[in-house]
Structure 1
Amino acid sequence: MVLLIDVVRTSGEVAATRSRAAKTTAIAGLLARLDRTEVRTATALLAGELPGGRAGVGWATLAALDVPPADGPRLTVGAVQRAVDELRGISGSGSNRRRTEALTALLAEATADEQEFLLRLLGGELRQGALEGVMIESVASAAGLPAEPVRRAFMLSGQLPVTAEAALAGGRAALDGFHLQVGRPVRPMLASPAADLDTALDESAASSVEYKLDGARIQVHRNGEHVRVFTRTLRDITSNVGELVDLVRGLDCETAVLDGETLALDDSGRPRRFQDTMGRFGAQQPRDLLLHPYFFDCLHLDGTDLLDRPLRDRLAALSRLAPEQRIPGELNPGPERAAEVFDEALAAGHEGVVVKDLDSGYAAGRRGRAWRKVKPEHTLDLVVLAAEWGHGRRTGYLSNLHLGARDPDGGPPLMVGKTFKGLTDELLAWQTAEFRRRSAREDDWTVHLVPDLVVEIELDGVQVSTRYPGGVALRFARVLRYRPDKDAAQADSIEAVRAMLRG
């Protein structure tokens, strides 16, 4: 039986080192000691996540607690899971009082170090989705397996704790038992930035050049008459996008899994604002604003899984099934025609193009070189770490943003710069209210956030800097938009920022 203090100490070891190998060794050592019933919970805790998701506890509730710590460690991993499940089940009249009582009882069983860990966990401050890669390697090490079958099983299950339990309990055979299941979302394949179109084209012998839309990622599953629609973060939005459900239900197939984007168009056929599209995802009632799907991949069709087939085969299946909903683009265009597709995409109001290797399989969750996005301006998806109170006409508003890049080795985001540019009055009002809700701590000048909000930043480039821990700083950064469709695990890494250094 593993105690919570063992998880806390391991988490501390991981946070204290920049060495990926040391992180992997520490986590794998603890995973190897776990009883099967503890694996799911401990894996979530080590990844900085609350087992089972949010428990409905706000930071204000946590900050008001003052519970004397236990004299010594006695709280088990299993007891933490039971306490979190209890918290999640509290609702109705008197729920605030009962939630406080349950939290007090849990913290009374915890040492001072365990209390700090639990408070940060419940408040969302331990969420470090970038730890995902280290966790996959640690699970593989603890199970005595290569990392690739663990990574693939995670892609197909979408749940790291479930994957870890299978690896540690059943080894390679259990991992090989994971298959694409229609109705269960697959973690999406991602594109990495390319310096320019020629560079992207040179990286593959044969390629597809497709429009990069200013829309929201969707994954659609159909099984007979049952259709489900998921976001980039695997959230089920089926009930909010009836027009997409109806369209997919009308396709000539029995089962299918399609990957793509959706966006709202204006009367002229040009894309509306990204915020308009995202607004539909949270709608409780049908809206007049209709969403249009544009599919760019087919992962399954009528009983046949296509994940491991080359992209050319998946696109052929997509063209047979949904030619009218296929994203605009061309197969194997020469450099001149590829440049024309790029210009056509921009002229139609889209962001640029994505160049894809036609020989590549579907490798979810990693920004490799099989898919390369090309845009006319430099942009990065960064994590908001904090915001400073404004001056002058911005007095009373949170204005100057502290921006961080994802640490691929699992640490907290690394600060790479600040900006107060690009903020409209509407955005200033929104982020002031939103940041106070996401506050981890505050001082006279700054509100420090739980690091899980992603913002898209446009910039002129980056430069070497000793001011920030990542060793680089943004040049002429400005806010383009917030990205509610992404979490911190999908922000750009410090490696992507450093790759923008000139020369």
Structure 2
Amino acid sequence: MLLSRLVETSAEVAATRSRLAKRKALAGCIAEAGGEARSEAGGQEIELVVTFLSGTLRQRRTGVGWASMAALPPPAPEATLTVSDVDAVFEKVAAIAGAGSTALRSAEVEGLFALATLPEQAFLRGLVFEDLRQGALDSLVQDGLAAAFDVPTATVQRAAMLLGSTATAAGLLARIGVAALEQVGLQVGIPVRPMLAASAPNADAAVPKSGLPALVDAKLDGIRIQVHRDGDLVRLYTRSLDDVTDRLPEIVEAVAALPVSRLVLDGEVVGLGSDGRPLPFQVIASRTGSSIDVAAGREKTPLSLFVFDLLHVDGRDLLDEPLSVRAAVMREALPPELLVPRILAESVEQVTAFFTQVVLDGFEGVVVKNLAAPYAAGRRDSGWIKIKPRHTFDLAVIGAEWGSGRRQGWLSNLHLAARDTATGDLVMLGKTFKGLTDQMLTWQTEQFLGREVRRTKYAVFVDPPLIAEIAIDGVQRSSRYPGGVALRFARVLRYRDDKTLEEVDTIDAVVALSPL
């Protein structure tokens, strides 16, 4: 399939706010790719089409940075690139390593972009930086895939969840049919997409969704880890399904020592200080984000695993069991020191008291969980409700204004945006310059200038945006910003390079805090 067909589809999807229209456009393109998919080669092509339409490359990490995109070659006069051509180039680019690798990658990228038309260049840039900005999230592509083959959306969603990939589900569906998807089950060694938590401002708001009694976990501010053990083989995956096994030998050892042979666990990796209080997120992220001198990192920052869910143990799948069953089996299978701090709450007052205590202990808050809920992998489900001591949102930073006075020369006042649930568009709802250290100001100025797409006399606008965790005291109705609300006392807590645009909080979640 020509790349231009995907570019046309992406433009069509971006041009409408209608979810049905987006689905129809995606289904048409996917159906074309699936027409010849009974062969192995055809199955591979539809996997690429679905991957690209979801806004990513198959390789995900290619080593291509902003410098490679600084000066693109003139666009090609006509469309000749195929999706397979593009994948082959990025497969080659991802494999380049060693001395001179930056120059070699740049040369390959330049050669590819020279063969692309102007719209194709923009599309490829969006794929490289996972910023296609077409309002088509992976869930919508799943809808389009289901429509293209006239199968139930729920079947596609479940298979993609268990395979950890919508593209892999597409390949199975195209080559074999819906029966292949219906037979997909939890497989030890293949990570599933993690269940996510919705938000609530306090226990009074959370408990009506969870019901009582509820299981209440301490919310740990660490790195989400999914553990798979099959005999002597232990693998560790992050929330984005990246394999980080080699970076965390102490976690591997702890799991390998358990008296079971097959496991799938969901938990959090954190570091604890000598006083038993958790180390800052940045310290933990620095350790887990590096594969350089793992032994020294382990010595300096030893990490511990805290498990809050069990999806499989010794041949028994628990994914669809209620949390009450999963929790009971987990208590039997795991030692107490591996379990997350939790209580069984019978009242709102117990939830509030536990919340107060864990915050005093240095944890981030609590997660209130419905005992009847199955593990809703890949979804932000009301079966889990997180409560933090302040209102925090992960927002997109779409621009920044030049500072004055002591901040002269730095980009300082941030333009913040939330995500429109229906379209995926980013909607501005406020600004802030609070919470920024000199180090953060220096770093973000460099990042903004590297991502600059346009500027005015006072501001620089970026694409793709950065993602930051923002704390606020509340919101108030306002016509000043497109979102219809303004943030009260917004301040930056940290940048979240571990999150994607799909994980930016929605404008609906922010507006829900408004008292009006």
The alignment status of 1:294 with 2:306, answered yes or no, reads: yes
**TM-score of the superposed pair, with normalisation by structure 2:** 0.90
Q: Report the counterpart of residue 349 of structure 1 in structure 2.
A: 362
* 1:498–1:132 CA distance, 2 compared to 1 (3 A): farther
* 1:453 CA displacement: 3.5
Q: Report the counterpart of residue 285 of structure 2 in structure 1.
A: 278
Q: Any idea what SS the aligned residue of 2:413 has? A: strand
What one-letter code is carried by the residue in structure 1 that aligns with 2:142? Answer: I
Of 371, 374, 377, which aligns to 1:358? 371
* 1:98 CA displacement: 4.5
Please say if residues 462 and 501 of structure 1, whose CA atoms lie closer than 8 Å, have aligned partners that are also in contact. Answer: yes
* 1:280–1:100 CA distance, 2 compared to 1 (3 A): closer
What one-letter code is carried by the residue in structure 2 that aligns with 1:186? Answer: V
What one-letter code is carried by the residue in structure 2 that aligns with 1:246? Answer: E
Please say if residues 127 and 452 of structure 1, whose CA atoms lie closer than 8 Å, have aligned partners that are also in contact. Answer: no
* 1:214 CA displacement: 2.3
The alignment status of 1:12 with 2:18, answered yes or no, reads: no
Q: Report the counterpart of residue 112 of structure 1 in structure 2.
A: 118
The alignment status of 1:176 with 2:182, answered yes or no, reads: yes
Of 488, 492, 498, which aligns to 1:485? 498
Counterpart-to-counterpart distance in 2, 1:23 and 1:416 = 25
Q: Any idea what SS the aligned residue of 1:486 has? A: coil
What one-letter code is carried by the residue in structure 1 that aligns with 2:50? Answer: T
The alignment status of 1:85 with 2:98, answered yes or no, reads: no
What one-letter code is carried by the residue in structure 1 that aligns with 2:115? Answer: E
Please say if residues 212 and 347 of structure 2, whose CA atoms lie closer than 8 Å, have aligned partners that are also in contact. Answer: no
Counterpart-to-counterpart distance in 2, 1:75 and 1:106 = 9
Of 137, 142, 156, which aligns to 1:131? 137
Q: Any idea what SS the aligned residue of 1:247 has? A: helix
* Unaligned segments of structure 1, at least 5 residues: none
Counterpart-to-counterpart distance in 1, 2:382 and 2:129 = 36
Structure 1 residue runs of 4 or more that deviate by more than 6 Å after TM superposition: 127-130
Counterpart-to-counterpart distance in 1, 2:483 and 2:142 = 24
What one-letter code is carried by the residue in structure 1 that aligns with 2:28? Answer: G
The alignment status of 1:311 with 2:323, answered yes or no, reads: yes
Q: Report the counterpart of residue 211 of structure 1 in structure 2.
A: 218
What one-letter code is carried by the residue in structure 2 that aligns with 1:207? Answer: A
Counterpart-to-counterpart distance in 1, 2:328 and 2:134 = 38
The alignment status of 1:268 with 2:275, answered yes or no, reads: yes
Counterpart-to-counterpart distance in 1, 2:136 and 2:12 = 16
Q: Report the counterpart of residue 65 of structure 2 in structure 1.
A: 58
> What whole-Å deviation, never above 9, does each CA across 1:193-212 have from its counterpart, x for those lacking one?
12320232222244211211
What one-letter code is carried by the residue in structure 2 that aligns with 1:341? Answer: F
Please say if residues 128 and 489 of structure 1, whose CA atoms lie closer than 8 Å, have aligned partners that are also in contact. Answer: no
* Unaligned segments of structure 2, at least 5 residues: none
Please say if residues 400 and 461 of structure 2, whose CA atoms lie closer than 8 Å, have aligned partners that are also in contact. Answer: yes
Of 410, 414, 418, which aligns to 1:397? 410
Please say if residues 384 and 451 of structure 1, whose CA atoms lie closer than 8 Å, have aligned partners that are also in contact. Answer: no
What one-letter code is carried by the residue in structure 2 that aligns with 1:257? Answer: V
Please say if residues 72 and 113 of structure 2, whose CA atoms lie closer than 8 Å, have aligned partners that are also in contact. Answer: no
Q: Report the counterpart of residue 245 of structure 2 in structure 1.
A: 238
Counterpart-to-counterpart distance in 2, 1:107 and 1:208 = 53
Q: Report the counterpart of residue 27 of structure 1 in structure 2.
A: 26
The alignment status of 1:449 with 2:455, answered yes or no, reads: no
Counterpart-to-counterpart distance in 1, 2:248 and 2:96 = 30
The alignment status of 1:414 with 2:427, answered yes or no, reads: yes
Counterpart-to-counterpart distance in 1, 2:106 and 2:305 = 45
* 1:153 CA displacement: 1.3
Counterpart-to-counterpart distance in 2, 1:362 and 1:414 = 31
* 1:168 CA displacement: 3.3
* Aligned-pair Cα RMSD in Å: 2.3
* 1:102–1:428 CA distance, 2 compared to 1 (3 A): closer
Counterpart-to-counterpart distance in 2, 1:333 and 1:395 = 55
Counterpart-to-counterpart distance in 2, 1:90 and 1:442 = 35
165-174 vs 85-94, greater mean Cα deviation: 85-94
306-315 vs 58-67, greater mean Cα deviation: 58-67
Q: Any idea what SS the aligned residue of 2:196 has? A: coil
Q: Any idea what SS the aligned residue of 1:49 has? A: coil
Counterpart-to-counterpart distance in 2, 1:170 and 1:494 = 40
Mapping 1:352-391, distance limit 5 Å = 352-391=365-404
What one-letter code is carried by the residue in structure 2 that aligns with 1:56? Answer: G
**TM-score of the superposed pair, with normalisation by structure 1:** 0.93
> What whole-Å deviation, never above 9, does each CA across 1:85-112 have from its counterpart, x for those lacking one?
2333444555555545433443343333
Counterpart-to-counterpart distance in 2, 1:130 and 1:387 = 26
* 1:444–1:40 CA distance, 2 compared to 1 (3 A): farther
Q: Any idea what SS the aligned residue of 2:32 has? A: coil
Counterpart-to-counterpart distance in 2, 1:343 and 1:131 = 36
Q: Report the counterpart of residue 56 of structure 2 in structure 1.
A: 49
Q: Any idea what SS the aligned residue of 1:218 has? A: strand
What one-letter code is carried by the residue in structure 1 that aligns with 2:324? Answer: R
Please say if residues 153 and 178 of structure 1, whose CA atoms lie closer than 8 Å, have aligned partners that are also in contact. Answer: yes
* 1:114–1:338 CA distance, 2 compared to 1 (3 A): closer
Counterpart-to-counterpart distance in 1, 2:134 and 2:327 = 35
Counterpart-to-counterpart distance in 2, 1:443 and 1:237 = 42
* 1:293–1:97 CA distance, 2 compared to 1 (3 A): closer
Counterpart-to-counterpart distance in 2, 1:68 and 1:492 = 36
Please say if residues 311 and 361 of structure 1, whose CA atoms lie closer than 8 Å, have aligned partners that are also in contact. Answer: yes
What one-letter code is carried by the residue in structure 2 that aligns with 1:236? Answer: D
Please say if residues 135 and 425 of structure 2, whose CA atoms lie closer than 8 Å, have aligned partners that are also in contact. Answer: no
Of 428, 436, 439, which aligns to 1:426? 439
Q: Any idea what SS the aligned residue of 1:33 has? A: helix
Counterpart-to-counterpart distance in 1, 2:337 and 2:136 = 37
Counterpart-to-counterpart distance in 1, 2:185 and 2:454 = 43
Counterpart-to-counterpart distance in 1, 2:79 and 2:100 = 31
Q: Any idea what SS the aligned residue of 1:370 has? A: strand
Counterpart-to-counterpart distance in 1, 2:129 and 2:452 = 9
